[in-house]
Copies of this chain bind each other. A is one copy, B any other.
């Protein structure tokens, strides 16, 4: 079950002026569930995104990048779950393009103004006819108040939908930010999560919006891992409809830019953490803080080595303070000149190790007490600089194996 992750209520999700959402049951993998989502945007909207770095990136990722680069603006995003349209070769690209063409036809825009996204099983042909058949139902359903349904329509092995809203005030005007995301397994984003969409009614120039989404993803989706597997379909999109009443933001000096960046990053962080809390088989939510490093890169490298270690993750599942496994992971993280004598390791408020070994003050029952919690912070002090990094992950349980040994059935 998800770790301390409440289900978002429909009322908690605020509409974003200009963003219309419609969902449909297209029976892409199986019937009887919403599996197709359409977002329609006004002509004044700007859109920016970051995509997976996986070389086997999915057909829709290739097409979405092309369409963004075409620079004609974005009038719609279309998302299906149940099939990733990845590892599908030329036929997959054709299916993604045909989907965009049909959306353009229905909404009276250019196909290059439509961005496609897919998530689900890899290397199966996308059932294009089902997608095309579902699209008119999405169009008929388009509405500003559909964020809750949209969050559900993009889930795969997710147990809980991920969605959050925030509002900020800029120059006396209210700006709304609402975001949704999905993801539970194959989570080790390298630029973005499986799928995330954040929209605001602020007016933001496209180059600034691109910097905003990069900064937000670097501080959120790029700091999580469930199983160390980087997906073929990761994408995080940031939409600014420009339909609020505040002045447009054109660069970092624009009024409200700092506040909007902070709100977007907060929304992205909450969505990213929600993915980990709903990680496949997760029973613990683990925050790994590496401090006192000589660079951000080495702090993150060490944090990820600990976060990815199956031995560390199974120890947390068992609530077993077998904490030497954390030292081992720090040691093999690949930081060549690391002086292990200087490293301090703590679990929440309990100092576990220092001077290359177990701390004199450490008592097994203190470690045990923290390990039994569902939210745990691992603190690693390197004591060789001022840099720090945080990574969020979950434990590794029987259910992780169960879910992934039976995902296609």
CA distance A201 to B54 in the complex (A): 50
* A168 at interface, CB cutoff 8 A: no
List residues of chain B with CB within 8 A of the CB of A57: 331
A315 interface neighbour in B87, B396, B405, Cβ under 8 Å: B405
Query: Are B122 and A318 touching (Cβ within 8 A)?
Result: no
Query: Are B229 and A311 touching (Cβ within 8 A)?
Result: yes
Query: Are B320 and A56 touching (Cβ within 8 A)?
Result: no
Query: Are B401 and A317 touching (Cβ within 8 A)?
Result: yes
Query: Are A335 and B401 touching (Cβ within 8 A)?
Result: no
Residue of B nearest to A316 (CB): B405
Given contacts A228-B308, A229-B309, A353-B87, is CB(A401)–CB(B330) below 8 Å? no
Query: Are B90 and A230 touching (Cβ within 8 A)?
Result: no
A86 interface neighbour in B92, B228, B322, B324, Cβ under 8 Å: B324
**Max chain B CB contacts within 10 Å: which of A227, A332, A406?**
A332
* A27 at interface, CB cutoff 8 A: no
Which stretch, A107-115, A138-146, A355-363, touches the partner chain B? A355-363
Query: Are B323 and A123 touching (Cβ within 8 A)?
Result: yes
Query: Are A54 and B322 touching (Cβ within 8 A)?
Result: no
List residues of chain B with CB within 8 A of the CB of A230: 328, 331-332
Task: Give per-residue flags for A90-117: 1 if the beta carbon is below 8 A from chain B beta carbons, else 0.
Answer: 1110000000000000000000000000
A328 interface neighbour in B229, B317, B402, Cβ under 8 Å: B229
Given contacts A122-B325, A311-B185, A332-B229, is CB(A405)–CB(B54) below 8 Å? no
CA distance A329 to B402 in the complex (A): 20
Query: Are B318 and A406 touching (Cβ within 8 A)?
Result: yes
Query: Are B56 and A315 touching (Cβ within 8 A)?
Result: no
CA distance A328 to B310 in the complex (A): 20
Query: Are A232 and B405 touching (Cβ within 8 A)?
Result: no
Interface of A is mostly: loop
Chain A residues 383-409 with CB under 8 Å of chain B are: 396-398, 400-402, 404-409
> Which size bracket describes the interface of A in this complex?
35 or more
Query: Are B92 and A330 touching (Cβ within 8 A)?
Result: no
CA distance A317 to B407 in the complex (A): 12
CA distance A315 to B409 in the complex (A): 12
A90 interface neighbour in B331, B353, B355, Cβ under 8 Å: B355
Query: Are B407 and A398 touching (Cβ within 8 A)?
Result: no
A324 interface neighbour in B55, B84, B406, Cβ under 8 Å: B84
List residues of chain B with CB within 8 A of the CB of A310: 227-229, 310, 396, 400, 404
Residue of B nearest to A317 (CB): B405
Given contacts A186-B311, A318-B406, A322-B408, is CB(A327)–CB(B87) below 8 Å? yes
**Max chain B CB contacts within 10 Å: which of A185, A323, A405?**
A405
Query: Are B90 and A122 touching (Cβ within 8 A)?
Result: no
Query: Are A405 and B314 touching (Cβ within 8 A)?
Result: yes
Query: Are B88 and A315 touching (Cβ within 8 A)?
Result: no
List residues of chain B with CB within 8 A of the CB of A185: 311
Given contacts A123-B323, A185-B311, A357-B92, is CB(A56)–CB(B401) below 8 Å? no
Given contacts A310-B310, A357-B87, A406-B318, is CB(A231)–CB(B56) below 8 Å? no
CA distance A258 to B406 in the complex (A): 48
- Provide 22 A-B residue pairs closer than 8 Å at the C-beta atoms, listed in order of the A residue: A55-B336, A55-B338, A56-B327, A56-B331, A56-B340, A57-B331, A88-B356, A121-B322, A122-B322, A123-B327, A186-B325, A188-B332, A227-B309, A229-B309, A230-B328, A230-B332, A232-B331, A314-B401, A396-B401, A397-B401, A398-B401, A398-B402
